[in-house]
Structure 1
Amino acid sequence: MHKIEDLIRIFERSFFKTYNTKLVVGHDEPVYLPADENTQYHQIVFAHGFYASALHEIAHWCLAGPKRREQLDYGYWYNPDGRNKQQQQKFEFVEIKPQAIEWILSVCAGFDFKVSCDNLNGSYTPDRHAFRARIYSQVEQYLAGKLPTRAKLLGIALADFYQVKHPFSIKKFTVEER
Protein backbone atom coordinates (compact mmCIF):
# COMPACT_ATOMS: atom_id res chain seq x y z
CA MET A 1 0.00 0.00 0.00
CA HIS A 2 2.78 2.49 0.83
CA LYS A 3 5.03 2.63 -2.20
CA ILE A 4 8.07 4.86 -1.96
CA GLU A 5 7.55 5.90 -5.58
CA ASP A 6 4.19 7.42 -4.60
CA LEU A 7 5.76 9.42 -1.78
CA ILE A 8 8.54 10.65 -4.08
CA ARG A 9 5.98 11.74 -6.67
CA ILE A 10 3.73 13.46 -4.09
CA PHE A 11 6.74 15.29 -2.60
CA GLU A 12 7.99 16.41 -6.01
CA ARG A 13 4.54 17.64 -7.10
CA SER A 14 4.23 19.55 -3.84
CA PHE A 15 7.66 21.14 -3.60
CA PHE A 16 10.00 20.82 -6.59
CA LYS A 17 8.93 23.97 -8.43
CA THR A 18 8.89 26.11 -5.29
CA TYR A 19 11.87 24.71 -3.36
CA ASN A 20 13.96 22.99 -6.07
CA THR A 21 14.13 19.92 -3.84
CA LYS A 22 13.77 16.20 -4.59
CA LEU A 23 13.35 13.16 -2.38
CA VAL A 24 16.04 10.60 -3.30
CA VAL A 25 16.52 6.93 -2.36
CA GLY A 26 19.89 6.41 -0.66
CA HIS A 27 21.85 3.34 0.34
CA ASP A 28 23.21 3.94 3.81
CA GLU A 29 22.89 6.94 6.11
CA PRO A 30 20.34 9.63 5.24
CA VAL A 31 21.66 13.08 4.38
CA TYR A 32 20.48 16.41 3.01
CA LEU A 33 22.54 17.68 0.07
CA PRO A 34 22.10 21.27 -1.06
CA ALA A 35 22.35 21.99 -4.79
CA ASP A 36 25.89 22.42 -6.09
CA GLU A 37 27.83 22.56 -9.35
CA ASN A 38 27.13 18.84 -9.99
CA THR A 39 23.45 18.69 -9.03
CA GLN A 40 21.16 21.63 -9.75
CA TYR A 41 18.57 20.73 -7.11
CA HIS A 42 18.58 20.03 -3.37
CA GLN A 43 18.32 16.37 -2.32
CA ILE A 44 16.70 14.80 0.71
CA VAL A 45 18.43 11.42 0.67
CA PHE A 46 16.74 8.78 2.82
CA ALA A 47 17.97 5.32 3.84
CA HIS A 48 17.45 2.15 1.81
CA GLY A 49 14.15 3.17 0.24
CA PHE A 50 12.32 2.91 3.58
CA TYR A 51 9.06 4.85 3.75
CA ALA A 52 9.56 5.73 7.44
CA SER A 53 13.07 7.02 6.74
CA ALA A 54 11.74 9.23 3.96
CA LEU A 55 9.04 10.69 6.22
CA HIS A 56 11.62 11.35 8.94
CA GLU A 57 14.03 13.11 6.60
CA ILE A 58 11.18 15.15 5.13
CA ALA A 59 10.28 16.21 8.69
CA HIS A 60 13.79 17.63 9.19
CA TRP A 61 13.44 19.49 5.88
CA CYS A 62 10.07 20.91 6.98
CA LEU A 63 11.78 22.45 10.03
CA ALA A 64 14.87 23.79 8.28
CA GLY A 65 14.79 27.47 7.35
CA PRO A 66 16.25 28.93 4.14
CA LYS A 67 19.81 29.30 5.50
CA ARG A 68 19.81 25.76 6.92
CA ARG A 69 18.64 24.40 3.56
CA GLU A 70 21.81 25.79 1.97
CA GLN A 71 24.05 23.67 4.26
CA LEU A 72 25.08 20.02 4.12
CA ASP A 73 22.70 18.13 6.43
CA TYR A 74 21.27 21.54 7.38
CA GLY A 75 24.41 22.17 9.47
CA TYR A 76 22.81 20.16 12.30
CA TRP A 77 24.59 18.30 15.06
CA TYR A 78 24.38 14.52 14.99
CA ASN A 79 25.92 11.96 17.30
CA PRO A 80 25.53 8.43 15.88
CA ASP A 81 24.28 5.27 17.56
CA GLY A 82 26.30 4.32 20.63
CA ARG A 83 25.44 7.34 22.78
CA ASN A 84 25.78 7.58 26.55
CA LYS A 85 22.97 8.96 28.74
CA GLN A 86 23.91 12.63 28.31
CA GLN A 87 24.36 12.29 24.55
CA GLN A 88 21.05 10.42 24.26
CA GLN A 89 19.20 13.11 26.19
CA LYS A 90 20.60 15.75 23.84
CA PHE A 91 19.62 13.60 20.83
CA GLU A 92 16.06 13.20 22.10
CA PHE A 93 15.73 16.92 22.80
CA VAL A 94 16.59 17.83 19.20
CA GLU A 95 14.51 14.96 17.76
CA ILE A 96 11.18 15.81 19.41
CA LYS A 97 10.04 18.26 16.72
CA PRO A 98 11.06 16.23 13.66
CA GLN A 99 9.58 13.04 15.09
CA ALA A 100 6.35 14.89 15.88
CA ILE A 101 6.15 16.03 12.25
CA GLU A 102 7.03 12.51 11.07
CA TRP A 103 4.18 11.17 13.23
CA ILE A 104 1.72 13.68 11.77
CA LEU A 105 2.83 12.86 8.21
CA SER A 106 2.54 9.15 9.03
CA VAL A 107 -1.06 9.61 10.18
CA CYS A 108 -1.81 11.64 7.05
CA ALA A 109 -0.52 8.74 4.96
CA GLY A 110 -2.24 6.05 7.02
CA PHE A 111 1.22 4.72 7.90
CA ASP A 112 2.20 3.31 11.30
CA PHE A 113 4.57 5.61 13.25
CA LYS A 114 7.29 4.15 15.47
CA VAL A 115 9.27 6.40 17.78
CA SER A 116 13.02 6.14 17.13
CA CYS A 117 15.46 6.41 20.00
CA ASP A 118 18.20 5.46 17.51
CA ASN A 119 20.60 4.10 20.14
CA LEU A 120 20.77 0.33 19.73
CA ASN A 121 24.47 0.07 20.62
CA GLY A 122 24.69 2.74 23.32
CA SER A 123 25.71 2.33 26.92
CA TYR A 124 22.38 3.86 27.92
CA THR A 125 18.95 2.34 27.31
CA PRO A 126 16.50 5.15 26.56
CA ASP A 127 12.99 5.33 27.99
CA ARG A 128 10.93 4.98 24.79
CA HIS A 129 7.65 5.64 26.56
CA ALA A 130 8.80 8.93 28.11
CA PHE A 131 10.28 10.02 24.78
CA ARG A 132 7.03 9.16 22.96
CA ALA A 133 5.07 11.20 25.53
CA ARG A 134 7.28 14.24 24.83
CA ILE A 135 6.79 13.77 21.10
CA TYR A 136 3.03 13.47 21.65
CA SER A 137 3.05 16.81 23.52
CA GLN A 138 4.75 18.39 20.50
CA VAL A 139 2.15 16.83 18.19
CA GLU A 140 -0.57 18.48 20.32
CA GLN A 141 1.16 21.87 19.93
CA TYR A 142 1.52 21.43 16.19
CA LEU A 143 -2.11 20.41 15.77
CA ALA A 144 -3.19 23.42 17.84
CA GLY A 145 -2.04 25.63 14.97
CA LYS A 146 1.75 25.68 15.00
CA LEU A 147 2.46 23.04 12.33
CA PRO A 148 5.10 24.28 9.85
CA THR A 149 3.57 25.23 6.50
CA ARG A 150 5.46 22.68 4.39
CA ALA A 151 4.47 19.87 6.79
CA LYS A 152 0.83 20.90 6.57
CA LEU A 153 0.91 21.11 2.76
CA LEU A 154 2.48 17.67 2.47
CA GLY A 155 0.12 16.27 5.10
CA ILE A 156 -2.87 17.46 3.08
CA ALA A 157 -1.42 15.96 -0.12
CA LEU A 158 -0.75 12.63 1.62
CA ALA A 159 -4.20 12.49 3.22
CA ASP A 160 -5.77 13.22 -0.16
CA PHE A 161 -3.72 10.52 -1.92
CA TYR A 162 -4.33 7.87 0.77
CA GLN A 163 -7.91 9.02 1.41
CA VAL A 164 -7.34 9.58 5.13
CA LYS A 165 -10.17 11.53 6.74
CA HIS A 166 -9.47 14.10 9.48
CA PRO A 167 -5.70 13.47 9.63
CA PHE A 168 -5.06 16.53 11.80
CA SER A 169 -7.39 15.39 14.59
CA ILE A 170 -5.66 14.64 17.90
CA LYS A 171 -7.97 11.61 18.17
CA LYS A 172 -5.74 9.94 15.54
CA PHE A 173 -2.81 9.97 17.98
CA THR A 174 -2.17 8.06 21.19
CA VAL A 175 0.65 8.20 23.72
CA GLU A 176 0.58 4.42 24.11
CA GLU A 177 2.50 2.50 21.48
CA ARG A 178 0.45 -0.08 19.62
Structure 2
Amino acid sequence: MNHSPNDLIMLFNGLFREAFRTMLVKGGKEPEYLPAGGADDVAQVVFAHGYYSSALHEISHWCIAGEHRRTLHDYGYWYCPDGRTSAQQKAFEQVEVKPQAIEWLFSVAAGSRFHISVDNLSGGGASDEHGFRCSVLAQAEDYLCDGLPERAQAFFDTLKSFYGTGASFSKAWREDARRVVPLFFAKEHYEAN
Protein backbone atom coordinates (compact mmCIF):
# COMPACT_ATOMS: atom_id res chain seq x y z
CA MET A 1 0.00 0.00 0.00
CA ASN A 2 1.33 3.42 -0.95
CA HIS A 3 1.57 5.87 1.94
CA SER A 4 2.11 9.37 0.65
CA PRO A 5 2.05 12.28 3.07
CA ASN A 6 0.30 14.21 0.29
CA ASP A 7 -2.73 11.95 0.85
CA LEU A 8 -2.78 12.91 4.52
CA ILE A 9 -2.54 16.59 3.61
CA MET A 10 -5.48 16.21 1.21
CA LEU A 11 -7.59 14.27 3.73
CA PHE A 12 -6.79 16.51 6.72
CA ASN A 13 -7.26 19.76 4.83
CA GLY A 14 -10.48 18.48 3.28
CA LEU A 15 -11.89 17.71 6.72
CA PHE A 16 -10.54 20.55 8.83
CA ARG A 17 -9.35 23.53 6.78
CA GLU A 18 -12.73 25.24 6.59
CA ALA A 19 -14.35 23.91 9.77
CA PHE A 20 -11.35 24.59 12.05
CA ARG A 21 -9.29 27.02 9.95
CA THR A 22 -6.37 24.58 10.19
CA MET A 23 -4.19 22.93 7.58
CA LEU A 24 -1.57 20.21 7.56
CA VAL A 25 1.78 21.33 6.12
CA LYS A 26 5.05 19.57 5.25
CA GLY A 27 7.84 21.10 7.27
CA GLY A 28 11.55 20.85 7.76
CA LYS A 29 13.57 19.60 10.67
CA GLU A 30 11.14 19.97 13.57
CA PRO A 31 7.38 19.53 13.78
CA GLU A 32 5.37 22.33 15.33
CA TYR A 33 1.92 23.81 15.64
CA LEU A 34 1.45 27.41 14.52
CA PRO A 35 -1.83 29.01 15.60
CA ALA A 36 -3.64 31.36 13.25
CA GLY A 37 -2.09 34.83 13.41
CA GLY A 38 -5.28 36.73 12.64
CA ALA A 39 -8.93 36.44 11.70
CA ASP A 40 -8.16 35.64 8.06
CA ASP A 41 -5.25 33.27 8.77
CA VAL A 42 -5.27 29.52 9.21
CA ALA A 43 -3.44 27.53 11.85
CA GLN A 44 -0.78 25.10 10.65
CA VAL A 45 0.01 21.59 11.85
CA VAL A 46 3.59 21.24 10.57
CA PHE A 47 5.12 17.78 10.33
CA ALA A 48 8.83 16.99 10.01
CA HIS A 49 10.69 16.15 6.80
CA GLY A 50 7.57 15.14 4.91
CA TYR A 51 7.45 11.86 6.87
CA TYR A 52 4.11 10.04 6.85
CA SER A 53 4.46 8.89 10.47
CA SER A 54 5.37 12.41 11.62
CA ALA A 55 2.20 13.71 9.98
CA LEU A 56 0.06 11.10 11.77
CA HIS A 57 1.72 11.96 15.09
CA GLU A 58 1.23 15.71 14.71
CA ILE A 59 -2.38 15.22 13.62
CA SER A 60 -2.90 13.14 16.77
CA HIS A 61 -1.67 16.00 18.96
CA TRP A 62 -3.98 18.43 17.16
CA CYS A 63 -6.96 16.10 17.56
CA ILE A 64 -6.72 16.15 21.36
CA ALA A 65 -5.76 19.81 21.81
CA GLY A 66 -8.65 21.80 23.25
CA GLU A 67 -9.88 25.11 21.83
CA HIS A 68 -7.63 27.25 24.06
CA ARG A 69 -4.52 25.13 23.41
CA ARG A 70 -5.09 25.55 19.66
CA THR A 71 -4.52 29.30 20.13
CA LEU A 72 -1.00 28.68 21.53
CA HIS A 73 2.27 27.91 19.73
CA ASP A 74 2.87 24.15 20.06
CA TYR A 75 -0.35 24.05 22.11
CA GLY A 76 1.52 25.72 24.98
CA TYR A 77 3.30 22.50 25.94
CA TRP A 78 6.90 22.33 27.07
CA TYR A 79 9.22 20.27 25.01
CA CYS A 80 12.54 19.08 26.32
CA PRO A 81 14.68 17.73 23.46
CA ASP A 82 16.36 14.34 23.18
CA GLY A 83 18.76 13.75 26.07
CA ARG A 84 16.16 14.09 28.82
CA THR A 85 16.83 13.12 32.42
CA SER A 86 14.90 10.22 33.93
CA ALA A 87 12.37 12.59 35.54
CA GLN A 88 11.94 14.58 32.32
CA GLN A 89 11.51 11.35 30.37
CA LYS A 90 8.84 10.10 32.76
CA ALA A 91 6.91 13.36 32.32
CA PHE A 92 7.32 13.11 28.54
CA GLU A 93 5.95 9.56 28.51
CA GLN A 94 2.92 10.58 30.57
CA VAL A 95 1.88 13.29 28.09
CA GLU A 96 2.60 11.10 25.06
CA VAL A 97 0.23 8.23 25.92
CA LYS A 98 -2.90 9.74 24.34
CA PRO A 99 -1.33 11.13 21.15
CA GLN A 100 0.60 7.92 20.54
CA ALA A 101 -2.54 5.83 21.12
CA ILE A 102 -4.38 7.92 18.53
CA GLU A 103 -1.42 7.83 16.14
CA TRP A 104 -1.37 4.04 16.46
CA LEU A 105 -5.07 3.76 15.63
CA PHE A 106 -4.56 6.11 12.67
CA SER A 107 -1.63 3.99 11.48
CA VAL A 108 -3.62 0.75 11.55
CA ALA A 109 -6.56 2.49 9.85
CA ALA A 110 -4.15 3.61 7.10
CA GLY A 111 -2.45 0.21 6.87
CA SER A 112 0.91 1.72 7.82
CA ARG A 113 3.44 0.55 10.40
CA PHE A 114 3.36 2.20 13.82
CA HIS A 115 6.39 2.53 16.11
CA ILE A 116 6.24 3.51 19.77
CA SER A 117 8.50 6.51 20.28
CA VAL A 118 10.22 7.30 23.55
CA ASP A 119 12.12 10.02 21.68
CA ASN A 120 15.17 9.95 23.95
CA LEU A 121 17.96 8.34 21.95
CA SER A 122 20.86 10.31 23.41
CA GLY A 123 19.40 10.28 26.92
CA GLY A 124 18.75 7.24 29.04
CA GLY A 125 16.03 5.91 26.76
CA ALA A 126 12.61 5.13 28.14
CA SER A 127 11.71 5.63 31.77
CA ASP A 128 9.76 2.35 31.62
CA GLU A 129 9.42 1.21 28.02
CA HIS A 130 7.24 -1.83 28.72
CA GLY A 131 4.99 0.22 31.02
CA PHE A 132 4.78 2.96 28.38
CA ARG A 133 3.85 0.46 25.67
CA CYS A 134 1.18 -1.05 27.91
CA SER A 135 -0.20 2.42 28.75
CA VAL A 136 -0.43 3.35 25.05
CA LEU A 137 -2.13 0.03 24.30
CA ALA A 138 -4.61 0.48 27.17
CA GLN A 139 -5.44 4.01 26.00
CA ALA A 140 -5.96 2.85 22.41
CA GLU A 141 -8.23 0.04 23.62
CA ASP A 142 -10.20 2.59 25.68
CA TYR A 143 -10.61 4.76 22.58
CA LEU A 144 -11.84 1.77 20.58
CA CYS A 145 -14.33 0.90 23.32
CA ASP A 146 -15.52 4.39 24.31
CA GLY A 147 -14.84 6.35 21.12
CA LEU A 148 -12.12 8.73 20.05
CA PRO A 149 -12.29 12.50 20.56
CA GLU A 150 -14.55 14.01 17.86
CA ARG A 151 -11.88 15.29 15.45
CA ALA A 152 -9.80 12.13 15.88
CA GLN A 153 -12.86 9.98 15.17
CA ALA A 154 -13.58 11.92 11.98
CA PHE A 155 -10.01 11.48 10.76
CA PHE A 156 -9.90 7.81 11.82
CA ASP A 157 -13.10 7.08 9.87
CA THR A 158 -11.75 8.98 6.86
CA LEU A 159 -8.50 6.96 6.91
CA LYS A 160 -10.40 3.67 7.06
CA SER A 161 -12.57 4.74 4.12
CA PHE A 162 -9.69 6.11 2.02
CA TYR A 163 -7.44 3.08 2.56
CA GLY A 164 -10.28 0.52 2.51
CA THR A 165 -9.38 -0.93 5.92
CA GLY A 166 -12.77 -0.71 7.63
CA ALA A 167 -13.70 -4.39 7.25
CA SER A 168 -10.24 -5.64 8.24
CA PHE A 169 -9.47 -3.11 10.99
CA SER A 170 -10.29 -5.31 14.02
CA LYS A 171 -8.10 -8.17 12.82
CA ALA A 172 -5.27 -5.80 11.84
CA TRP A 173 -5.53 -4.07 15.23
CA ARG A 174 -5.21 -7.34 17.19
CA GLU A 175 -2.19 -8.39 15.11
CA ASP A 176 -0.48 -5.02 15.50
CA ALA A 177 -1.15 -4.89 19.25
CA ARG A 178 0.65 -8.24 19.58
CA ARG A 179 3.55 -6.90 17.50
CA VAL A 180 3.97 -3.63 19.39
CA VAL A 181 3.41 -4.95 22.94
CA PRO A 182 4.48 -8.62 22.70
CA LEU A 183 5.35 -9.03 26.40
CA PHE A 184 1.82 -7.97 27.38
CA PHE A 185 0.34 -10.74 25.27
CA ALA A 186 2.98 -13.28 26.30
CA LYS A 187 2.17 -12.57 29.96
CA GLU A 188 -1.57 -12.81 29.24
CA HIS A 189 -1.04 -16.20 27.55
CA TYR A 190 1.15 -17.42 30.43
CA GLU A 191 -1.41 -16.39 33.09
CA ALA A 192 -4.25 -18.07 31.16
CA ASN A 193 -2.45 -21.45 31.21
Cα distance per residue 1:64-99 (max 9 Å; x no partner) = 011110111110121111011111111000000000
- Paired residue total: 177
Q: For residues 93 and 65 of structure 1, do their structure 2 counterparts lie closer, same or farther at Cα, with a shift above 3 Å needed?
A: same
Cα distance per residue 1:35-75 (max 9 Å; x no partner) = 11497100000100000000000000000011110111110
Q: Distance in 2 between matches of 1:106 and 1:59?
A: 11
Q: Distance in 2 between matches of 1:46 and 1:56?
A: 8
**Does the aligned pair in 1 maintain the 2:26–2:49 contact within 8 Å?**
yes
Q: Note the C-alpha offset of 1:132.
A: 1.2
Q: What is the letter of the counterpart of residue 13 of structure 2? A: E
Q: Distance in 2 between matches of 1:50 and 1:86?
A: 29
Consecutive unaligned residues of structure 2, counting only runs of 5 or more, are 183-193
Q: What is the letter of the counterpart of residue 30 of structure 1? A: P
- 1:142 corresponds to 2:124: no
Q: Note the C-alpha offset of 1:171.
A: 2.7
Larger radius of gyration: 2
Cα distance per residue 1:112-151 (max 9 Å; x no partner) = 10000000111x2314333211100100111111411111
Q: Distance in 2 between matches of 1:154 and 1:19?
A: 13
Q: What is the letter of the counterpart of residue 45 of structure 1? A: V
Equivalent residues in 2 for 1:37-116, closer than 5 Å? 37=38, 40-116=41-117
1:174 aligned to which of 170, 173, 177: 177
Q: What is the letter of the counterpart of residue 125 of structure 2? A: T
Q: For residues 167 and 128 of structure 1, do their structure 2 counterparts lie closer, same or farther at Cα, with a shift above 3 Å needed?
A: farther
Structure 1 stretches of at least 4 aligned residues deviating more than 3 Å after TM superposition: 166-170
30-39 or 77-86, larger mean C-alpha shift: 30-39
Identity of aligned residues (%): 49
Coordinate RMSD, CA, aligned:
1.8
Q: Distance in 1 between matches of 2:160 and 2:168?
A: 7
Equivalent residues in 2 for 1:118-129, closer than 5 Å? 118-122=119-123, 124-126=124-126, 127-129=128-130
- Give TM-score, length-normalised by structure 1: 0.93
- Give TM-score, length-normalised by structure 2: 0.86
Q: Note the C-alpha offset of 1:3.
A: 0.6
Consecutive unaligned residues of structure 1, counting only runs of 5 or more, are none
